[in-house]
Amino acid sequence: MMELSQDVQQEMQVRVSPRLIAANHILEMSSQELQSTISREIEENPALDMLDITVCPTCGQPVEGETCPRCSRRQDDSSIPDPTEQYLENLAWSGQSLGRDEEFDPLTLVAAQVTLEEKLLADMGTMVAVEDMPIAEYLVGSLDADGYLRASMYEVCSKFEIEPEKFEEILGCLQSLEPPGIGARDIRECMILQLRYLSSRGVEHPLAIDLVRDFLEDLGKHKFNRIAQKRNVSCGEVEDAWEFIKTQLNPHPAQGSDGVPTRSGPRPVQGYVVPDVIISLGEQGLEVEIIESKRFALSINSMYQQLLIQVHSAQAQYSESEREHVHQYVSRAKMFIANINQRRQTMQKITGFLVLYQKDFLLNGVRQLKPLTRAMLAERTGIHESTVSRATASKFVMLPSGEVIPFSNFFTASLSVKDVIKDMIANENTALTDQEIAVHLKEQGYNVARRTVAKYRDQLNILPSSLR
């Protein structure tokens, strides 16, 4: 006889609510993505309103009247300079003279900058035919972070069905622009472009171009005697040419701040970056301001608030579909507003902890940056580590110094070591090897291996000692 039995088993499943998914999605958005999402939600949801608050286009501060209390800038359109014009006319500093009673707002400078890509495209627009602009845009879009062209002639010619001559013509226009060396296909071409640029301005060395073109590898290995014999010149002349090349050229053309070849250190071209958070030094110490809290004032539409009250009334004559419509859109608007508020509160809590923990860094610079991980911050604040990651991803903060940095910098302990390495190399009398740098770092209390030094140096876009 068959025996029948019944087993009862309990199984636990974790179900993530739709609200939590939506909240996490909003939390990880960048400021621009959030603005687009809010605009789209307002268009799609008639129950959601955004108050029409006049804000400063630079800092987001609410404005009553014509003057921003933070920036002291008039809010009429004619007083807001065009970022491109400011960049091209180099007015970022000299074009705006502040009176004694005016407060300088560092965001004014940030907003006045344009990206290198925008500048190059604007210049190319005056040099090539309209029908060739798609090719020019493709070339500019194919530049890497250092300014080198990563698209081959074959790739471009095939894509646009053009002859190599047309490719060289348009590339020549790009390579004629500043910063010198932009659009080069390798370091040799980059250096030759920069040498020609300097020569056109009366700064040149008679051997430099020939040596770069024919003996670049030997130069890097300091085989000066071999070069001198092949060129039938003295070893001293070769060394003199090499010194000229080292001091006058920049192997990272896109990272020169003023477009002129320099060895003073690579500096990234800043784009138009408006921070998500401002940390400023006020009368009470360091203060935190979440910018979006001033820019996006969301509320439930007043008409839909009244409709919601009415549909709950037994006397109201509404169809089932009408009741469902009101409930659906009002609930959706409430959840959206709650998620936006949750995002602000999370960013406020995280930044508040960073202000306390990294106070020395904020006031005294990168050398004072304390080691910190997202897991440590999560443990100290009671926020889940994944939430910390979402809240700090793709977001920027303005420091009291006016510098705008990504939030990730707070969790990059190597920044202080990199700053020491950069300072060592900038002040070296003779080129320090990676091993020598590691020894000097150990003397200063930094226990860093030679390979790590090499990695950090490479991340700083600094050449090895043999090429410096």
DSSP state letters, 128-141: S-GGGHHHHHHHHH
| 279: β partners | 288
pLDDT at 417: 87
Other C-beta atoms within 10 Å of 415: how many? 17
Per-residue confidence of the chain (468 residues) as pLDDT tens digits? Answer: 555 555 555 555 545 566 778 888 888 887 778 888 998 999 999 999 987 666 655 555 566 665 555 554 434 443 333 333 333 333 233 333 334 344 444 444 344 446 788 889 888 888 888 899 999 999 999 998 889 999 999 999 999 999 999 999 999 999 999 899 999 999 999 999 999 988 887 778 889 999 999 999 888 888 889 999 999 888 888 888 888 888 888 888 987 544 434 333 333 333 446 788 999 988 889 999 988 776 778 899 999 998 888 888 766 678 888 889 999 999 999 999 999 999 999 999 999 999 999 999 999 888 888 888 888 999 999 999 889 988 988 788 889 888 888 888 898 878 888 888 988 888 888 889 999 999 998 888 788 888 888 888 887 878 888 877
Could you give the CA distance from residue 442 to residue 429 in angstroms, rounded to a whole number? 20
Could you give the CA distance from residue 393 to residue 54 in angstroms, rounded to a whole number? 28
Give every CB contact of residue 285 below 8 A, 6+ residues apart in sequence. Answer: none
pLDDT at 106: 43
pLDDT at 107: 41
Handedness of CA 351, 357, 359, 360 (dihedral sign): negative
Handedness of CA 19, 21, 24, 26 (dihedral sign): negative
pLDDT at 42: 92
The pTM score is 0.52
Could you give the CA distance from residue 354 to residue 405 in angstroms, rounded to a whole number? 14
Please, where are the H alpha helices in 224-297?
A: 224-231, 235-248, 292-295
User: For residue 93, what are its two tokens?
Assistant: 């500093």
pLDDT at 33: 82
- Residue 197 backbone dihedrals phi, psi, to 5 degrees: -60, -45
- Residue 405 backbone dihedrals phi, psi, to 5 degrees: -130, 155
Other C-beta atoms within 10 Å of 144: how many? 10
CATH placement of domain 414-467: 1.10.10
Least Cα distance to 333 among 301, 371, 286 occurs for 301
| Pairing state between β 404-406 and 396-398 | antiparallel
Using DSSP's 3-state secondary structure scheme, residue 23 falls into helix
In the chain, CATH 1.10.10 covers 414-467
Distance of CA 19 to the CA centre of its chain: 31
Cis-peptide, bond into residue 179, ω within 30° of zero = yes
Residue whose structure tokens are 């804000």: 55
pLDDT at 88: 32
Could you give the CA distance from residue 56 to residue 72 in angstroms, rounded to a whole number? 10
User: For residue 385, what are its two tokens?
Assistant: 């580590």
Spatial contact of 331 and 342, defined as CB atoms under 8 Å apart: no
Could you give the CA distance from residue 7 to residue 263 in angstroms, rounded to a whole number? 77
Could you give the CA distance from residue 195 to residue 189 in angstroms, rounded to a whole number? 10
* Residue type at position 413: A
